[in-house]
């Protein structure tokens, strides 16, 4: 087992090393043949969601539970209908040497053949239909939980998808800041050689360049880790040879709150699950109470029970009567009336009532939580949407500020500290703008867990 794991791990490590994209992945070995690596797979957010639904273990488990609940419903419906079975017996009895019936009183001959077609009907289940209703409620509950798992997975994938996008954007920002720091270091060194700035400016520019180098390495690490996190969600073979489409600026519009509230009332899976759980618990009370009622079943058997395997034969106990018909039927109707069980049925009723009361409490809690989350998520989306324009304006202003301070510094009108501050301000403004775009995207994803896709 350990040997197989080590082989798999080495294979995956090689795949990780060889796989890459345009953002910071390790290049292929120099001696690799040209064209040996396939082109990276380009994924949109919808592609990522589709792939994650195929590989998500929690979602697959919830879908499996829903499929099992569907089978339980089919079985409950089948239990209401008559079922037919066939039974074939041969009864061989030791003879006593005197009477033709043999040594056992229950058999009228040494050889008895029993071949019956039996029709069985549980009349209680057919009349009450409580079992089918309970199975239908359980199926609704399982489907609602599967939808909860699907929407939760969508939020997880959305976070990982945009974490990679922001990682790539911040990596590009760090690369640009590093190039700017190198350019300003060169300018400062040139001005120092001309006697226009003191050596302290060069030291400060060199320190800024070192900090940007560190920030660049951290940005690359964050981007690589974000790629690993997304690859775990999307690919069963841990493939990293993919790129993602940057759609941060193409987010859908936020609907009006009245429309969102209507969608939440109609499409919220948590509320649907709580309603289904309460309905199932109420039916459990009915099923427990039905145990006090009589149960009624009917069995109709048609076939033969004779001393010979034939439609007509001679009865061993009455040979003088000659061949008699064997084919026929008999009907058994059973009425079972419960009388005494030491209180177990009453206990089951009380137990079912306690579960029903708890389900009712959970339903009201789910309704309150839905109202709170709906308002909170909507306000979060509104705030994030309103901040995007301000963050974009701040980024443009920071870029212009850096340009002007760069010109002023070269003209000897600004200090190195003003230039460094302007560069730091621009880097922070760009990262804040990217974070603001992601915040709005994630706010929409959280809101859609309550309302469904809009």
3-class SS of residue 119: strand
Q: Encode pLDDT of 346-405 as tens digits.
A: 999 999 999 999 999 999 999 999 999 999 999 999 999 999 999 999 999 999 999 999
Q: What is the pLDDT of residues 65-82, one digit of tens each?
A: 999 999 999 999 998 999
pLDDT at 12: 42
Per-residue pLDDT, 125: 85
pLDDT score of 315: 81
Q: If you average pLDDT over residues 112-117, what whole number do you get?
A: 90
Residue 17, pLDDT score: 37
Summary mean pLDDT of the chain? 88
- Choice among 81-95, 285-299, 353-367 with the minimum mean pLDDT: 81-95
d(CA 244, CA 384): 23
Distances (CA, A) of 416 to 193, 213, 390, 402: 16, 18, 28, 12
Contact 66, 139 (CB under 8 A): yes
The reported pLDDT for the residue numbered 392 is 95
- For residue 54, give Cα distances in angstroms to 80, 150, 235, 296: 36, 11, 9, 47
CA 60, CA 149: separation in Å to the nearest integer? Answer: 9
Tell me the three state secondary structure of residue 306. strand
Tell me which residue of 52, 219, 254, 164 sits closest to 438, measured CA to CA: 164
Beta bridge partners of 72: none
Q: Which two tokens stand for residue 187?
A: 């300018």
Beta-carbon contacts of 48 under 8 Å, excluding residues fewer than 6 positions away, are: 157, 161, 230, 233, 234, 244
Q: Are 55 and 236 in contact (CB under 8 A)?
A: yes
**Spatial contact of 224 and 24, defined as CB atoms under 8 Å apart:** yes
Burial status of residue 355 (CB atoms within 10 A of its CB: 0-12, 13-18, 19 or more): middle
pLDDT at 132 over 90: yes
Mean pLDDT across the stretch 256-261? 94
DSSP strand pairing (83-92 vs 111-122): antiparallel
| Contacts for 94 with CB less than 8 Å, ≥ 6 apart | 102, 103, 110
Q: How would residue 242 be classed by pLDDT, with cut points 50, 70 and 90?
A: very high
For residues 200-210, give the mean pLDDT.
91
Cα gap 269→149, rounded to integer Å: 10
- List the beta bridge partners of residue 116: 87, 303
**What domains can be seen in the chain, in order of their start residue?**
46-79+129-293+346-451 (1.20.1600.10), 110-126+295-337 (no CATH)
Question: CB-based contacts of 43: which residues, under 8 Å, 6+ apart?
Answer: 51, 234, 242, 243, 244, 245
pLDDT the model gives residue 105: 67
Return the DSSP state at 46. Answer: H
> Is it the case that residue 158 has pLDDT exceeding 70?
yes
Residue 75 half-sphere exposure toward CB, CA atoms < 13 A: 10
pLDDT class of 35 with cuts at 50, 70, 90? very low
pLDDT tens digits, one per residue of 45-64: 999 999 999 999 999 999 99
């Amino acid at each position: 087992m350990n040997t197989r794991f080590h082989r798999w791990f080495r294979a995956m490590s090689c795949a990780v090393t060889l796989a890459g994209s345009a953002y910071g992945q390790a290049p292929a070995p120099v001696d690799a043949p040209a064209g040996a690596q396939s082109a990276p797979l380009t994924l949109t957010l919808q592609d990522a969601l589709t792939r994650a639904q195929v590989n998500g273990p929690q979602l697959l488990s919830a879908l499996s539970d829903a499929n099992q609940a569907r089978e339980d419903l089919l079985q409950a419906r089948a239990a209401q209908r008559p079922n037919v079975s066939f039974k074939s017996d041969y009864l061989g009895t030791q003879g006593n040497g005197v009477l033709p019936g043999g040594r056992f009183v229950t058999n009228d001959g040494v050889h008895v053949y029993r071949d019956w077609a039996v029709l069985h009907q549980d009349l209680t289940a057919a009349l009450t239909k409580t079992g089918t209703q309970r199975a239908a409620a359980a199926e609704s509950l399982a489907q609602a939980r599967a939808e909860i798992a699907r929407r939760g997975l969508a939020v997880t994938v959305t976070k990982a998808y945009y974490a990679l996008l922001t990682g790539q954007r911040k990596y590009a920002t760090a690369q640009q800041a590093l190039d700017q720091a190198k350019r300003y270091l060169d300018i400062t060194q040139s001005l120092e050689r001309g006697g226009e700035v003191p050596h302290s400016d060069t030291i400060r520019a060199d320190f800024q360049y070192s900090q940007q180098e560190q920030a660049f390495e951290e940005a690359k690490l964050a981007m690589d880790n974000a790629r690993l996190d997304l690859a775990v969600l999307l690919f069963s073979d841990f493939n990293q040879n993919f790129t993602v489409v940057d759609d941060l600026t193409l987010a859908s519009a936020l609907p009006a709150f009245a429309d969102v509230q209507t969608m939440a009332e109609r499409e919220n899976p948590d509320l649907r699950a709580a309603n289904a759980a309460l309905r199932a618990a109420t039916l459990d009370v009915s099923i427990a109470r039905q145990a006090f009622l009589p149960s009624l079943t009917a069995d109709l058997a048609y076939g033969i029970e004779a001393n010979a395997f034939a439609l007509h034969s001679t009865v061993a106990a009455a040979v003088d009567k000659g061949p008699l018909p064997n084919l026929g039927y008999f009907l058994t109707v059973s009425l079972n009336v419960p009388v005494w069980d030491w209180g177990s049925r009453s206990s089951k009723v009380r137990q079912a009532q306690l579960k029903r009361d708890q389900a009712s409490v959970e339903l009201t809690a789910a309704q309150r939580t839905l109202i709170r989350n709906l308002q909170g998520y909507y306000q979060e989306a509104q705030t994030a949407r309103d901040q995007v324009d301000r963050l974009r304006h701040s980024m443009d202003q920071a870029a212009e500020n850096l340009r002007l301070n760069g010109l002023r510094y070269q003209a000897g009108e600004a200090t190195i500290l003003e230039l460094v501050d302007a560069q730091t301000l621009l880097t922070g403004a760009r990262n804040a703008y990217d974070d603001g775009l992601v915040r709005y995207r994630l706010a929409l994803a959280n809101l859609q867990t309550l309302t469904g896709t809009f």
